[in-house]
Amino acid sequence: MVKNRRYPPAHPNAKKQSEKGDTWEPFEAVADTPDNYSAVAAFAGVSPAEVQQEMPLPGCTRQGFRNNKYYVVVETLSPRGLLGELHLSITRTDRSAAHDWREFQRIKNELCGPEREACELYPAQSRLCDSANTFHLWVMAEGDRVPVGWNVQTVVDSEVASQLNIKQRPFGDDDPTRELCLTKEQYKKKLDDGRKQQGLGQLGPSATPSPPPTPPPGS
């Protein structure tokens, strides 16, 4: 895993109540001992220690992290982590099947770094794995990029989005992404700059800017 870095960097407002009424506490490193090791061991007729020993890929490492909402296992995907790719196994503490893209982005940022890129895989049925309410992110090596996606940053809050006839949920008070939200003026300038680059005219004061295509969640 990444060397010489605190796990994870706690956001200054990490315990502040969000607009949804819940909280986001900093992750803490914990032993990689999921509660279901004993059950899996009993089902397979082996000891919990044998199950734990078989979990990592040969030569790879695993480290567990827990906060008030998630248990995450960070696993290197090459011996001793030399290539830098990581696998995040994400399970909610209530073990529900809830899937929140923003929270997964936050997990990736806090445990791997905000400029690391990761993806979810929707595989061919011939290699489908679906045996628990657990989700997986596959993290690229530092500096590598997933070869699809947008090459610009555009984040707007619910107020600006509503003026563009777009539905956007509010960002929680404790969500660091709030700091990236564009004001109406900044968003209009961004659209104008894009039009100039394409040789189009500037949007007039009475014109209603047309929003760019809305990226699907998880892009």
Percentage of residues in the chain with pLDDT exceeding 90? 50
- In angstroms, the CA 203 to CA 71 distance is 47
Domain ranges of the chain: 28-139, 149-219
At 206-217, the pLDDT tens digits run 455 556 666 666
Average pLDDT, the chain: 80
94-97 long-range contacts (CB < 8 A, ≥24 apart) are 95/133, 96/133, 97/133
Query: What are the residues whose beta carbons fall under 8 Å from the beta carbon of 101, sequence distance 6 or more?
Result: 217, 218
Collapsing DSSP states into helix, strand and coil, what is residue 118?
Answer: strand
At 158-207, the pLDDT tens digits run 999 999 888 999 998 889 999 999 999 999 998 888 888 877 665 555 45
Residue 203 CA: distances (Å) to CA of 119, 136, 165, 177, 191: 36, 42, 18, 27, 8
Name the pLDDT band for 67 (thresholds 50, 70, 90).
very high
> Can you tell me the mean pLDDT for 16-31?
74
The structure's pTM equals: 0.73
Paired tokens of 182: 């564009």
Q: Is the peptide bond before 8 cis (omega within 30 degrees of 0)?
A: yes
- Do residues 60 and 77 lie in contact, with contact meaning Cβ atoms separated by under 8 Å? yes
Q: How many helices (H) and strands (E) does the chain have?
A: 5, 6
- Do residues 67 and 112 lie in contact, with contact meaning Cβ atoms separated by under 8 Å? no
Collapsing DSSP states into helix, strand and coil, what is residue 169?
Answer: coil
